[in-house]
Structure 1
Amino acid sequence: MTSTLAQFERPISATEWLYLAGRPLAEPFAIQLVVAGDGVLDADRLVDAVAAASAACPGARLRRRGERWVDSGIAPAVTVLAGPGVDFAAPDADPVLTRGLGDGTAEVVLVRDRDTSTVVFRVFHGVMDARGLALWAADVFRVLRGEEPIGAPDPTADHDLVARIGSSGKPTTLMPTRRSPLGASGSPPKQGPFLWRHRSVPGVAAASVARISAVLADVVGERIRVMIPVDLRRHDPALRSTANLALPLFLDVAPGEPWSKTHTRILVHMAEKRELAEMDNGGLARLPAPVARAVLRGAHRLGAHADRNVVSALVSHAGQVSTRDLSVPGFRATTVRAVPVHTGLVPVSFVVLECDGTTEITVSCRAGAGVDDRLGAVLDRIAAALTAPGESAAATALAPAARGGPASSTGTADSRFRDHARATPEAVAVTSPGGEHSYAELDGRADAIATALHDHGVRHGDVVAVLAGRSVAAVAAQLGVLRAGAAFLALDPKHPVERHAGIVADSGAALVLAERDRAASVLAPVPVLLLDDLPDSAPEPVRVPITGDDIAYVTYTSGSTGRPKGVRVSHSGVVHFVDGVTDWYGLGPRTRFAHHHTPAADMACAAFFSPLLTGGAVTLVPDDTSHLSLRHMLCESGANTFLFTPSLLDVVLRLELTPGPVRTVVVGGEQLSPALAARARDFFGPDVRLLNSYGPAEVSVVCTSHVVDAVPDPVAATVPIGRPTAGTDAYLLDEGGAPVAPGEVGELYFTGPQLAGGYLGRPDLTADRFVQLADGVRSYRTGDLARLLPDGSLDFAGRVDGQVKVRGNRVEPGEVRAALERCPGVSAAAVVGRRTETGGVLDAYVVAGDDVDDAAVRAFLSERLPAYMVPTHIRRVAEMPLTGNGKLDVSRLSGADADPAVDTVVPTPPDTDPATSDTVDADLDRIAAIWVAVLSVDPSAVTPSADFFALGGDSLASLEMLAQVSRTVVGRAGEAGFVARLEGLVQQMTLAKVRAAAVAARDGAELP
């Protein structure tokens, strides 16, 4: 690399001369950043990234030449070691952290194990401080991700800023009179004079430096002096310099002093710019190097043996970092720790770093007999102070309970896709049974669709409905709508026509884009544009300015009043969602995200946006969900990333499949039980990313995730929903809007850029759910209950109301009740959501005439509601039980007063073959046994004319049932014909019909 000496050099400052004098006494006198995570980093790529980042941050390449620092043009060395990483708890100082820096002032150490990596950035404190080190390290990871480094090319050092700003007051006189919170260490043990220790504290408490200082004063029991480094960049926020720009405040703290008072005095000293007076470090920096070294050596000995120190402790705050910024494809950072300098002048140094909602505290201190135990006790007291009820923990719950860390997502969903289309036009964007389709091909089709929409009057901000299956045309249609500056509204072809019409009318859609074979089901009076007739490219594509605030898509969720409501999700929400889950899900060019979801749900948006905005591919699974489509998807399609509801995951685990090269399995949409998580962890193996994700549609698909690293305890209470995505904060509040204490249940609120724009055309509902917190911050009130766990993650605890998730779809029982009450013969109805181990189910109770049977009710609902909203059980009651104040008494509905079902046994249909409906044979016996096992019903109820759904089955239970029938009765050769005969049958799936279809498929009969 070409040297840039002329461009980057500076004089050595007084502070840096002092550090040079002290370096031989506490080698390596380095500040360090330890980034540990999953995945093995490539050493050669790291070498190249360090070189590129160091060229952009030349402060990493400095060498001393006389009285100046100069850019040597030589990148810091990268040393590769084998091992499990850095051990802060080791009895001996970790050898990685104590290595010398050789001829340079910085180096990077890569420690690799079989499937983990630890990257340690190390730099002599004379040329860099913690903030400068963070700037350089972040650029290294930017380069590893293929991004341009931001750089820190400014040579400004501390003396430059002090000279520019000016200083007043006298430096602090430092005398060796202060006691250490760890006491005298005496003669150091053989392994060395210093040790490091670490403690992670869940949550982020305000004023952590003041809180720690107050604890230290209480431990010592007399007035102490604390040294608090202050970042001089606060005086010039635009400054991009890696230099050592930290000067200290010296603060005396008395035992018993409230931390709030200590914090106030810190703020007053900073307002007075007191740190600027400490340029020569209390006169030490003016001494010749040999004299300064002798003073430092004497101070170390006096402090170690007599517990008399110039300061009692150093307490530094290194700021905030996000593991997302220090991760790359193939390596996911899990912990980040700042490591303080060993120095004999200070008996103990604390460095605080906030990372992903956790407070990381690393300590350096003089080693000695009993010091380790005393330090452990001090750290216990500090951890308690940072999570004290009513103070820091309350602040954690209110501001916020869990924090996603900083977010810097930019662009729109369209611009992100176009970036990949330009950079890698031939890369695969979509795979389907029909073949592969490139980014260039999809980009051209999106242009053509956007142009056609514009020609048909669609304008910026309009809503365009898309009625298509899981097809390449549907993917291109959604991209084309975005490119036209409109918002897409995906409709599910399987939903009833009446529901389509109602949603299209409610959305005010300007137009419907439909595949030819779906267009007949569009009843709404809006123009229909056939996707089949549109060209594959546009000679003069439309370019509409789009911003992050524009709405990208609208998705409809169940409404408690019986009317679905459309959630307006912005481009900003989409890109923040994708950026927030990229590292969790391992998204990138190798991603093949399986799309088997209903197009109308936001899970489909996860499968759509996640790969296309990160350079990966959508793997389309066009067939209806069955054991055959699941087998193809998991074993043959090439998909490696999956999003399952717990209900479907449970079915997958029962199919006895051998999946292909799975990389990531995300579970979401319903509460995940520990038993199911344990089975999944065991089934997919240790190398697969397994996550439990959570997110209402109103917070852009997914807003929290928990990585299921180990096999969960199957008898544990819950599986956490984890921590928020970057930029998203979670609050846990009681009914009065006040924060609940850690561990207590509160309603979950979210803030941040992933919040939706509200409900389409429903200002009343928007005002009710999107509320301002006490500090004026806009939030979404989820209606979900949660608690904060000791490790800082969130744990789902149920609902405030009766809403339930059914196979990942949010269902308001009131909407189903409204449909039931329109059914002929039903005079009153109630619907109750009930949670099971793998998800939720709906139980319906009706007051109906004797001539109303289960089949008629189900048929009526199926014509108006999606299949997942048709109740699992429909029971007749004589009347609706009421409470004393006239409200429905739900507790009495589930009691013994309710009949088992409304006509559970359905009369044999006239067209059923009598020979099979009344004759018990071996096939019928085997299928009946399967029904009994799957439905957990009394065998006497399973007659030839019994209906699977009337017995309590649902679509997922039917999937498992049909898979077992295929294996035991039909055989592999006839499976496709068997599924085809029963596909789409959502009612009247009698035992006789299943038996007839199974026998016909096994015998190879022609499809009717």
Structure 2
Amino acid sequence: MTTTVPAFQRPVSATERLYLATQPLAPPFAIQLVVTGTGDLDPDDLVAAVARASAACPGARLVRRADAWVDSGATPHVEVVNDAGIDFTDLDASAVLRRPLGSNPQATTEVVLLRGEPAAVVFRAFHGVMDAKGLGTWAADVFRVLRGEDPAGAPDTTADHDLVARIGMRGKPTTLVPTRRSPLGATGRAPHGNPFTWRHRTVPGTTTGTVARISAVLADAVGRPTRFMVPVDLRRHDPAIRSTANLALPLFLDVAPGQSWSQVNAQLLVGLVEGRELNEMDNGGLAKLPAAVTRAILGAAHRLGAHADRNLVAAIVSHAGTVDPELMSAPGFTAASVRALPVHTGLVPMSFVVLESGGNTEITVSCRAGDAVADRLDALLDRVAEALTVGDPAPAPDVAPALPVTTGDAADPASDTTDNADHRFRRHAEQTPDAVAVIGPGGRHTYRDLDRRADAIAAELHGHGAGPGSIVAVLADRTVDGVAGQLGVLRAGAAFLPLDPKHPADRLSAIVADSGARVLLAARAHRDRIAADVPVLVLEDLPEHTDHPVRERIRGDDIAFVTYTSGSTGKPKGVLVPHGGVVNFVDSATDWYLLGPQTRFAHHHTPAADMACAAFFGALLTGGAVTLVPGEISHVSLRSMLGDGVANTFLLTPSLLDVVVGLEIDVPTPRTVIIAGEQLRPGLAAKARRFFGPGARLHNSYGPTEVSIVCTSHLIDAEPDPGATSVPIGTPATNTPTYLLDAAGRPVPAGEVGELYFGGPQVAREYLGLPELTAERFVVLPGGVRAYRTGDLARVLASGVLEFVGRVDDQVKVRGNRVEPGEVQAVLDLFPGIDRSAVAGRRGPGGGNVLAAYLVADRGVDVDAVRSFLADRLPAYMIPAAIHVVDDLPLTGNGKLDLSRLPGADEAAGSRDATPVPVDDDADPDLARITAIWAKVLEIAAERLTPNSDFFALGGDSLSSLEMLSQVSKTVVGAAGEARFVAQLEGLVHHLTLARVHAAAVAARDDAVAS
């Protein structure tokens, strides 16, 4: 006889055993989600939807068998109650909310349909099998099915102990002693048969720091230092998990009366960053005791708290997230509000649950019942509501902005419900439909052309379920299809995720999977590059127009695009940039860069960088045109871009600018040249000033990806002071308060160096799926100002402008791209034979930054193979220019890598000849000339070079290679053959040897002569 093992089962965790012991003391010990609205649902349709959603979320069908939860396979009970509703002004009167779960004693979930006024659907679950996030996941799937959609599903069996075991505890658990006072004092004897009471408040609007604000009010009510418990969703450590389980552990906050909510919030953020909730898996040892003993201890704790006001914590304050009522609506039923109800528990005196829904903050509290508790609780809730209603005050004097804040005439774009990127583009399409919007290899395309294509693409995306709140990846070269694709995504109300086809396929697939992209828009040539499970729409195959254009209501805080930047944890991280930030950038950039209908913005950047977004938005949101530069960037394409007179606005990194000013070409006076991405030295700025002529408007600009493209800029209206260390980065954009703070978060004196923080609408929403990192970098300053902590050091000069000084960490800017050395190191550590590795930035031959890698590895490790391994997994700019095999990685006294004791660029593994054989000058004059060029560009002795010398291994990078190839083309190849020469060498990002360059140069010259 065989025993069938259920497909879905998992052990009962320690937390769940504790809840099972608690359940008889406060039945049904259920968390509940109440969806109220207008209309009605057909009971049979609801039963069918619950069945299908529960099959996709088997955690909704669990029953306990010994020490395991198993999928019963049975649809949760659906109860229909006619002519009844739920009165949130008198929750205690609702029998539905207090009754046992389901139709049998083993039930752990149920759904109740109340067909009264207002109509309501109540989702109920034993807290031992679900938390608020899990309950919301299941409920959302029920409504998806009711709308005719497929359920998203939550089939993962992961429980809290699994995640904690995988991630690891970060410290010791919190010691809990029953000494904490309740905000309401002792409750005394409870009414017979009703030991707990519920109260609810709806606060119009939402605000930041809700948990901190409530905790501050409660601490003031206690009147002495106290402790609060904040449940934390463990899914933040692995956002890919689709589980309905109870994945919440407590984070404890010690708060004193008189603390501001921002101080409490800072404490909370520190706890999240440190992962303190991971320490609380043991539940103080209670979960290890027999259930009867645990139940007796909990009962005693309840009585001690009720009569002597001695509690383990003063209150639980939980934030259940944000739920859009539209997601809880279906044909015939329109949700108006979604509210969460906390469990009743005697272990703590009161428990708050906050849920944001429909633009309101819904607060429900469970409290021990007793003499005069109701009146005291109502008064306390009035204070809480007031704290959430009062707007954020102006910055406190001790954190005043380092520079005066300039406020534009327009409304704050972060809150404007109509002014967004799509609205700005459509306005120009309506006013000047025949104006040129895109200039590229395929010809010129008008605003009318792009507007129609955006409508058609948006309609297709809607047909595939992509709309507000979703992400659409766009994989295309610099083409009109790529531009139209991004506009179509915006028109659909979604956020576009631009990808670079030149990046390794595995990296592209990982980014798409991490982003949760709903759809991939891909050029036909790249449709098969992505291995992630996502529908693919080929851009060239999409219709040119539609009879049913999409018009989404887009708010300023909706996400416009997502950009992935290098991450210190070993994988890139996505930055969510809102429409309000884009619009605010464009408003400032219009003045800085003279943007408008005459703008012709050159787009030569990687599509995946926010520099590409500068060209895209800077042109199309101001009535100008994007000028697309096709193919690889070489001295040939640069000469064409700068000299053909089509483009008049350019954004260049200092590294690329250094190459440009050395091209020795006649450049027509451009309208604007923007220099950004790296620190600009005065000498290079002076060269650029002379190169582009007095009629060009030169700006040195600065902007992390997290602050919407560019947030400060400085007009270079004269040659910079040669004695200065760098060119200023200028003054902030409108609506952008800027702060310079020391390590303790205090403002630095005028002229002193501090870390840069930016506030205002350009601050990104968050890092996608990385709440810890978000909490670390997106902070709330005293006074309630939300700001981005850049990690950059700066000071205010006597002239009143900002000067960039450096970094506070190891991050390196390579050709305008932000690189975390840890991400490169993480890939190196995957290579067989490498025991340890380190990656650091250093100055390259041309003065820009390059990366150097140091390997402790087997003696037979092949540096060429390592470089090829990296090239298959990382973008070209992240491949180290020099790779050294060393015996050890020396450390400084404080445990950091000691670069001073490691080899320099001139000791890089460049020549692979066992015995170097110098170039024979007499045997081949062409090879001799090329050798001299290499020696000059790389700043090394010509005698070190052999035919097998690798340009990149000797310290060169892709930009210095442009200078080298330009010189070889001019000296050896000649104008007639330079296009052939460059074409032969495209793609050799890690095997550019002297012999190959020599062979390509001679062949290109000979072919040109022969033709």
How far 1:395 moved relative to its partner? 5.7
Once the two structures are superposed, residues 347-388 of structure 1 have per-residue CA deviations (whole angstroms, 9 ceiling, x without a partner) of xxxxxxxxxxxxxxxxxxxxxxxxxxxxxxxxxxxxxxxxxx
Q: Is the 8 A contact 1:484 1:543 kept in 2?
A: yes
Name the structure 2 match of 1:868.
877
Q: Is the 8 A contact 1:397 1:741 kept in 2?
A: no
Distance change in 2, residues 1:969/1:395 (3 Å): farther
One-letter code of the match for 1:433? P
User: Which SS does the other structure have where 2:714 is aligned?
Assistant: strand
Please tell me whether residue 983 in structure 1 is matched to residue 986 in structure 2.
yes
Distance change in 2, residues 1:396/1:442 (3 Å): farther
User: Which SS does the other structure have where 2:901 is aligned?
Assistant: coil
User: Which SS does the other structure have where 1:1003 is aligned?
Assistant: helix
One-letter code of the match for 2:608? A
Question: In the TM superposition, what are the counterparts of 1:871-886 in structure 2 within 5 Å?
Answer: 871-884=880-893
- Alignment partner of 2:944 out of 919, 941, 944: 941
User: Which SS does the other structure have where 2:800 is aligned?
Assistant: coil
Please tell me whether residue 670 in structure 1 is matched to residue 673 in structure 2.
no
How far 1:421 moved relative to its partner? 0.1
Name the structure 2 match of 1:328.
none
* CA distance in structure 2 between the partners assigned to 1:841 and 1:793 by the alignment: 29
* CA distance in structure 1 between the partners assigned to 2:545 and 2:873 by the alignment: 38
How far 1:1006 moved relative to its partner? 12
* CA distance in structure 1 between the partners assigned to 2:886 and 2:546 by the alignment: 61
Name the structure 2 match of 1:399.
401
- Alignment partner of 2:609 out of 601, 607, 610: 601
Name the structure 2 match of 1:894.
900
Question: In the TM superposition, what are the counterparts of 1:218-229 in structure 2 within 5 Å?
Answer: none
- Alignment partner of 1:954 out of 953, 957, 960: 957
One-letter code of the match for 1:398? A
Once the two structures are superposed, residues 627-647 of structure 1 have per-residue CA deviations (whole angstroms, 9 ceiling, x without a partner) of 111011001151000000000
* CA distance in structure 2 between the partners assigned to 1:400 and 1:936 by the alignment: 41
* CA distance in structure 2 between the partners assigned to 1:745 and 1:938 by the alignment: 40
- Alignment partner of 1:858 out of 836, 860, 867: 867
Q: Is the 8 A contact 2:702 2:711 kept in 1?
A: yes
Distance change in 2, residues 1:962/1:742 (3 Å): same
User: Which SS does the other structure have where 2:622 is aligned?
Assistant: coil
Distance change in 2, residues 1:916/1:672 (3 Å): closer
Q: Is the 8 A contact 2:755 2:794 kept in 1?
A: yes
* CA distance in structure 1 between the partners assigned to 2:902 and 2:554 by the alignment: 58
Question: In the TM superposition, what are the counterparts of 1:704-783 in structure 2 within 5 Å?
Answer: 704-783=712-791
Please tell me whether residue 922 in structure 1 is matched to residue 925 in structure 2.
yes
User: Which SS does the other structure have where 2:789 is aligned?
Assistant: strand
Q: Is the 8 A contact 1:853 1:903 kept in 2?
A: no
Name the structure 1 match of 2:973.
970
Q: Is the 8 A contact 1:718 1:795 kept in 2?
A: yes
One-letter code of the match for 1:694? Y
Name the structure 2 match of 1:1000.
1003
How far 1:834 moved relative to its partner? 2.7
Distance change in 2, residues 1:915/1:405 (3 Å): closer
Q: Is the 8 A contact 1:402 1:793 kept in 2?
A: no
How far 1:787 moved relative to its partner? 0.4
Once the two structures are superposed, residues 546-599 of structure 1 have per-residue CA deviations (whole angstroms, 9 ceiling, x without a partner) of 111110000001111112110000010000000011111000000000000000
* CA distance in structure 2 between the partners assigned to 1:546 and 1:1006 by the alignment: 59
User: Which SS does the other structure have where 1:521 is aligned?
Assistant: coil
**Count of matched residue positions in the alignment of Structure 1 and Structure 2:** 608
Q: Is the 8 A contact 2:906 2:940 kept in 1?
A: no
* CA distance in structure 1 between the partners assigned to 2:669 and 2:502 by the alignment: 31
* CA distance in structure 2 between the partners assigned to 1:443 and 1:455 by the alignment: 19
Q: Is the 8 A contact 1:853 1:902 kept in 2?
A: no
Q: Is the 8 A contact 2:396 2:783 kept in 1?
A: no
Deviates more, 1:476-485 or 1:939-948: 939-948
User: Which SS does the other structure have where 2:493 is aligned?
Assistant: coil
Name the structure 2 match of 1:642.
650
Deviates more, 1:457-466 or 1:859-868: 457-466
Distance change in 2, residues 1:605/1:767 (3 Å): same
TM-score in terms of structure 2 length: 0.58
* CA distance in structure 2 between the partners assigned to 1:883 and 1:616 by the alignment: 53
Once the two structures are superposed, residues 463-503 of structure 1 have per-residue CA deviations (whole angstroms, 9 ceiling, x without a partner) of 01000000000000000000011100000011111110111
Q: Is the 8 A contact 2:399 2:746 kept in 1?
A: no
Q: Is the 8 A contact 2:834 2:856 kept in 1?
A: yes
Q: Is the 8 A contact 2:890 2:902 kept in 1?
A: no
- Alignment partner of 2:577 out of 560, 563, 569: 569
* CA distance in structure 1 between the partners assigned to 2:801 and 2:665 by the alignment: 33
- Alignment partner of 1:538 out of 546, 551, 559: 546
Aligned-residue RMSD, C-alpha: 2.3
How far 1:822 moved relative to its partner? 1.1
How far 1:670 moved relative to its partner? 0.2
Unaligned runs of 5+ in 2: 1-394
Name the structure 2 match of 1:347.
none
* CA distance in structure 2 between the partners assigned to 1:481 and 1:918 by the alignment: 58
* CA distance in structure 2 between the partners assigned to 1:491 and 1:927 by the alignment: 36
Please tell me whether residue 846 in structure 1 is matched to residue 855 in structure 2.
yes
How far 1:853 moved relative to its partner? 2.8
Percent identity, aligned pairs only? 62
How far 1:651 moved relative to its partner? 0.2
One-letter code of the match for 2:911? V
* CA distance in structure 1 between the partners assigned to 2:774 and 2:799 by the alignment: 33
Q: Is the 8 A contact 1:578 1:609 kept in 2?
A: yes
One-letter code of the match for 1:983? E
Once the two structures are superposed, residues 765-817 of structure 1 have per-residue CA deviations (whole angstroms, 9 ceiling, x without a partner) of 11110000011110000000000111211010100101111000001111111
Q: Is the 8 A contact 2:433 2:446 kept in 1?
A: yes
- Alignment partner of 2:705 out of 678, 697, 702: 697
How far 1:854 moved relative to its partner? 2.2
Please tell me whether residue 484 in structure 1 is matched to residue 484 in structure 2.
no
Question: In the TM superposition, what are the counterparts of 1:256-295 in structure 2 within 5 Å?
Answer: none
Name the structure 2 match of 1:159.
none
Name the structure 2 match of 1:468.
476
Distance change in 2, residues 1:897/1:522 (3 Å): closer
Distance change in 2, residues 1:835/1:581 (3 Å): farther
* CA distance in structure 2 between the partners assigned to 1:687 and 1:899 by the alignment: 40
Distance change in 2, residues 1:898/1:420 (3 Å): closer
TM-score in terms of structure 1 length: 0.59
Question: In the TM superposition, what are the counterparts of 1:400-439 in structure 2 within 5 Å?
Answer: 400-406=402-408, 408=410, 409=413, 411-439=419-447
Please tell me whether residue 810 in structure 1 is matched to residue 818 in structure 2.
yes
How far 1:918 moved relative to its partner? 11
User: Which SS does the other structure have where 1:981 is aligned?
Assistant: helix
* CA distance in structure 1 between the partners assigned to 2:409 and 2:738 by the alignment: 15
One-letter code of the match for 2:678? E
Q: Is the 8 A contact 1:596 1:622 kept in 2?
A: yes
* CA distance in structure 2 between the partners assigned to 1:593 and 1:920 by the alignment: 48
One-letter code of the match for 1:478? Q
Deviates more, 1:499-508 or 1:541-550: 541-550
Name the structure 2 match of 1:251.
none
One-letter code of the match for 1:961? M
* CA distance in structure 1 between the partners assigned to 2:728 and 2:511 by the alignment: 34
User: Which SS does the other structure have where 2:969 is aligned?
Assistant: helix
* CA distance in structure 1 between the partners assigned to 2:457 and 2:401 by the alignment: 45
Unaligned runs of 5+ in 1: 1-392, 909-913
Once the two structures are superposed, residues 115-155 of structure 1 have per-residue CA deviations (whole angstroms, 9 ceiling, x without a partner) of xxxxxxxxxxxxxxxxxxxxxxxxxxxxxxxxxxxxxxxxx
